[in-house]
Amino acid sequence: MKIISYNVNGIRAALKKGFIAWLQQADPDVICIQETKAHKEQLDLSEFEEAGYPYHYWFSAQKKGYSSVAILCKKEPNHIEYGTGIETMDFEGRNLRVDYDTVSVMSMYLPSGTNDARLDFKLNYMAEIQEYLNQLKKEIPNLVICGDYNICHEEIDIHNPKMKGVSGFLPIERAWVGRFIESGFIDSFRYLNNDKQAFSWWSYRANARANNKGWRLDYAMVSEPLKSTISRAYILPEAKHSDHCPIVVELDV
């Protein structure tokens, strides 16, 4: 099972940059999309269906043009869970899950901490999603939590490890990722690429992408019971529909 996660920074903009042709070439079984910045009625959904993804699910923020997640699937899931039931998360459209027989896949868009108010919102979200997933794992042990976590975990995950005062690399944020992993998840990319430095996001400023001055903000976190199924995990920096790039995990399930 090939699962891709991609923060597209606006699905309508990505479509104009050749997203559909790329999707057909990448050929995932499931693709988790973050920051669609759209409601499904604003899209021509037949484009995704004709590309081989007849099962597509959209969970959008109340505010139009903001946040929002989606999942496109080749095969119909057994169940789709829109949101978490926690209002502080769900009004911004940040969590969507599809359940199959052997694995459940969530598209998650963790907030950024661009200012003090949003950092407080982010920290609250981090606490709430951890508790939510602690409970969910009791019901559904085989989970893959894909998405833009908006945090670099270790120094290898950022081009400049001295940026400890910037949200996304704050000690409190990095410690949370560590606890998240300790709660029963595997950072699939780091599990199979122990010493490899690779990034999934680059600022649009200062020619950062061309100079590969990036951050690894996107993860496919795989729950411990699925550890033996992780066969490949990699990043696709050549895909350029966004300031992020796609990440991939392949599971033998």
Residue of 99, 148, 187, 195 marked active site? 148
Q: How far apart are the first and last CA of the chain?
A: 7
Q: What DSSP element (H or E) covers 192?
A: helix 188-192
Distance CA 76, CA 74 (A): 7
Are the C-beta atoms of residues 58 and 85 closer than 8 Å to each other?
Answer: no
> What letters, b where the CB count within 10 A reaches 16 and e where it falls short, cover 153-175?
beeebbbeeeeeeebbbbeebbe
β-pairing verdict for 2-7 and 30-34:
parallel
Residue type, 1: M
> What letters, b where the CB count within 10 A reaches 16 and e where it falls short, cover 9-23?
bbbeebbeeebeebb
Are the C-beta atoms of residues 158 and 164 closer than 8 Å to each other?
Answer: no
Distance CA 87, CA 70 (A): 18
244 DSSP 8-state letter: B
Distance CA 220, CA 228 (A): 15
Annotated catalytic residue 252: no
Mind telling me the catalytic residues?
148
